[in-house]
């Protein structure tokens, strides 16, 4: 495996760093690499696997001002592309304005998630707090053939070449990007219409807005979604005809917020609410539904079933865990561990005629970070592929295949000391059914000090990987990923430019 080093960043992190989310499985990278023919160490790369898997990663270069949170790290995209039974790999920092400023300064300049906003050394930050660095290290989606990375709260969308992972600048939507509010962590792409749907939020009224960008990259719809006060939404869902926003009772304590303290508090006596909006509807068209109090970090899908909208997501049975035991780090980051928040797949049915919501738990298995076949997003579907978590830690130790129709589950455990990524579903070329394809993920093997890409048959997860490829360095754990079909990329990129980008 020939590895080309194309870039290197200077880190000022201490050699004796003891922060568990900057060391071990979360050890950041400083080197950017190209590999044009990734080494296959087991099995064979399927010849009908065609496309690119991209994963975003929190990758800090400098110590925090006082208290580091794993969502503060600078964005780094790792990608692996497949075609004709071969694979290529790239990793690049997301070249944000914040990264450039801190590289020049040689230190952190903005407060992080766990710090007081007025600790920032600069006042041109992002997010609902407006004093955070836009690290663009949370999610990655592909719209119109280009990757877009996003920030944990709200910020810019950075545009990347999906073949090289090189940053091409900020997405502007032809000058109509909402630079005053930014875009939330999880914009959604409808593969059927080519639209990108998004929301954003702020500490200023109306507290939330919703928008649509069409396949021509025009911001064609943007409306207010009034809320009772500042909220902390993280994700959204959509169907063929509707978008679904949320107002969960986990938000900043109002009295502390007046003093500049941003302390998320779970208000157990306030119901959850879902706002259903026609995809091009007005503020007056929003219908609100009440449900049991919880917090949902991520939804899997939504679809229409007669008069009802079916909404599936990961219901937290304990959004504010307290007595979890463990060491000081486990206690400090207890709300990141899946077993502590007790996240389980849950279904809500929102009746558009009666205005009533019903709900049910779909499983006793604790999972999160669910993925599915993207061509079924917003439509009736059957399968979700989600991560299981290491107890007391924000680390993925296995995969679960959820059958949403029968309740059947299939599991795969990575093994002791091996941690995975959010796992994308890649339909095989010419696929004929929802689970006719592959699952693609990255793992960090702490025993071998290696990272691998694993490819599974999506219909037979329990059989284990059909192939295993070695990455050039053990990579950091991270958050979100996506898959884009090669045919979709070639709609927007010529064969010659794509081949040149990956050295073919």
Instruction: Give the per-residue pLDDT at 500.
Output: 61
Residues contacting residue 255 through CB under 8 Å, at least 6 positions apart: none
8 Å CB contact between 187 and 204: no
Per-residue pLDDT for 125 more than 90? Answer: no
Read off the pLDDT of residues 82-107 as tens digits, 9 standing for 90 and up: 999 999 999 999 999 999 999 999 99
Q: What's the predicted TM-score (pTM) here? A: 0.97
What gap in Å lies between CA 121 and CA 130, rounded to an integer? Answer: 13
Residue 170 — very low, low, confident or very high, per pLDDT cuts 50/70/90?
very high
Chain-centroid distance of CA 248 in Å reads 19
Q: Name the helix (H) or strand (E) containing 168.
A: strand 167-170
What gap in Å lies between CA 481 and CA 141, rounded to an integer? Answer: 8
Residue 497 — very low, low, confident or very high, per pLDDT cuts 50/70/90?
low
Per-residue pLDDT for 117 more than 60? Answer: yes
Instruction: Give the per-residue pLDDT at 496.
Output: 65
**Domains in the chain with CATH codes:** 1-150+160-165+417-504 (no CATH), 187-413 (2.120.10)
What gap in Å lies between CA 456 and CA 458, rounded to an integer? Answer: 6
Read off the pLDDT of residues 355-380 as tens digits, 9 standing for 90 and up: 999 999 999 999 999 999 999 999 99
Q: Which of 503, 400, 424 is nearest to 54 (CA)?
A: 424
131 or 55: which leads in pLDDT: 55
Read off the pLDDT of residues 335-356 as tens digits, 9 standing for 90 and up: 999 999 999 999 999 999 999 9
Please, what is the average pLDDT of the chain?
A: 95
Residue 181 — very low, low, confident or very high, per pLDDT cuts 50/70/90?
very high
Q: Name the helix (H) or strand (E) containing 501.
A: helix 495-501
Per-residue pLDDT for 129 more than 80? Answer: no
What gap in Å lies between CA 411 and CA 415, rounded to an integer? Answer: 12
Instruction: Give the per-residue pLDDT at 502.
Output: 62
What percentage of the chain reaches a pLDDT higher than 70? 97
Q: What is the mean pLDDT of residues 172-189?
A: 96
Tell me the C-alpha to C-alpha distance, in Å, between residue 2 and each of 37, 53, 79, 89, 267: 7, 20, 16, 11, 54
Residue 164 — very low, low, confident or very high, per pLDDT cuts 50/70/90?
very high
- DSSP code, position 433: S
Per-residue pLDDT for 132 more than 80? Answer: yes
Instruction: Give the per-residue pLDDT at 23.
Output: 97
Residue 123 — very low, low, confident or very high, per pLDDT cuts 50/70/90?
confident
Which tokens is 242 given?
Answer: 């509707």
What percentage of the chain reaches a pLDDT higher than 90? 90
Q: Which of 202, 272, 204, 213 is nearest to 243 (CA)?
A: 213
DSSP string, 436-459: -EEEEEEEEETTTTEEEEEEEETT
């Amino acid at each position: 495996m020939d590895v080309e080093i194309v870039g290197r960043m200077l880190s000022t992190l201490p050699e004796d760093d003891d922060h568990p989310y900057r060391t071990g499985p979360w050890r950041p990278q400083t080197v950017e690499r190209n590999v044009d023919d990734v080494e296959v160490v087991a099995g064979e790369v399927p010849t009908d696997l065609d496309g690119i898997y991209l994963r975003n990663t929190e990758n800090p270069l400098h110590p925090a001002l006082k208290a580091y949170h794993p969502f503060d790290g600078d964005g780094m995209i790792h990608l692996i592309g497949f075609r004709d039974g071969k694979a290529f790999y790239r990793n690049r920092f997301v070249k944000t304005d914040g990264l450039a400023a801190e590289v020049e300064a040689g230190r952190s300049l903005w407060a992080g998630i766990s710090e007081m906003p007025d600790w920032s050394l600069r006042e041109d930050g992002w997010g609902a707090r407006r004093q955070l660095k836009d690290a663009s290290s949370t999610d990655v989606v592909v719209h119109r053939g280009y990757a877009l990375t996003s920030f944990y709260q709200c910020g810019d969308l950075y545009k990347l070449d999906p073949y090289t992972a090189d940053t091409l600048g900020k997405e502007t939507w032809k000058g109509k990007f909402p630079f005053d509010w930014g875009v939330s962590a999880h914009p959604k792409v409808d593969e059927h219409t080519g639209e990108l749907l998004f929301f954003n939020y702020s500490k200023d009224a109306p507290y939330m807005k919703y928008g649509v960008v069409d396949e021509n990259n025009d911001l064609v719809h943007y409306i207010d979604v009034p809320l009772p006060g500042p909220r902390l939404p993280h994700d959204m869902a959509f169907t063929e005809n509707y978008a679904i926003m949320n107002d969960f009772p986990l938000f900043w304590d109002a009295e502390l917020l007046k003093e500049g303290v941003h302390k998320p508090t779970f208000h157990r006596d306030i119901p959850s609410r879902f706002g259903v909006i026609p995809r091009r509807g007005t503020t007056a068209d929003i219908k609100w539904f009440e449900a049991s109090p919880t917090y949902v970090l991520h939804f899997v899908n939504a679809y229409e079933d007669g008069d009802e909208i079916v909404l599936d997501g990961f219901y937290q049975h304990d959004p504010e865990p307290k007595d979890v035991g463990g060491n000081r780090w486990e206690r400090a980051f207890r709300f990141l561990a899946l077993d502590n928040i007790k996240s389980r797949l849950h279904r809500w049915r929102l009746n558009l005629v009666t205005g009533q919501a019903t709900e049910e738990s779909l499983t006793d298995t604790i999972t999160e970070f669910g993925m599915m076949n993207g061509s079924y997003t917003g439509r009736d579907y059957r399968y979700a592929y989600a991560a299981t978590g290491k107890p007391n830690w924000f680390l993925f130790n296995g995969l679960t295949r959820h059958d949403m129709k029968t309740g059947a589950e299939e599991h795969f455990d990575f093994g002791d000391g091996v941690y995975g990524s959010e796992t994308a579903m890649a339909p095989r070329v010419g696929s004929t059914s929802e689970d006719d394809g592959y699952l693609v993920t990255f793992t960090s093997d702490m025993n071998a000090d290696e990272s691998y890409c694993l490819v599974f048959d999506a219909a037979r997860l329990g059989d284990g990987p059909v192939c295993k490829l070695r990455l050039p360095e053990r990579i950091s754990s991270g958050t979100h990923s996506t898959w884009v079909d090669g045919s979709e990329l070639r709609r927007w990129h010529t064969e010659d430019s794509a081949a040149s980008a990956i050295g073919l």
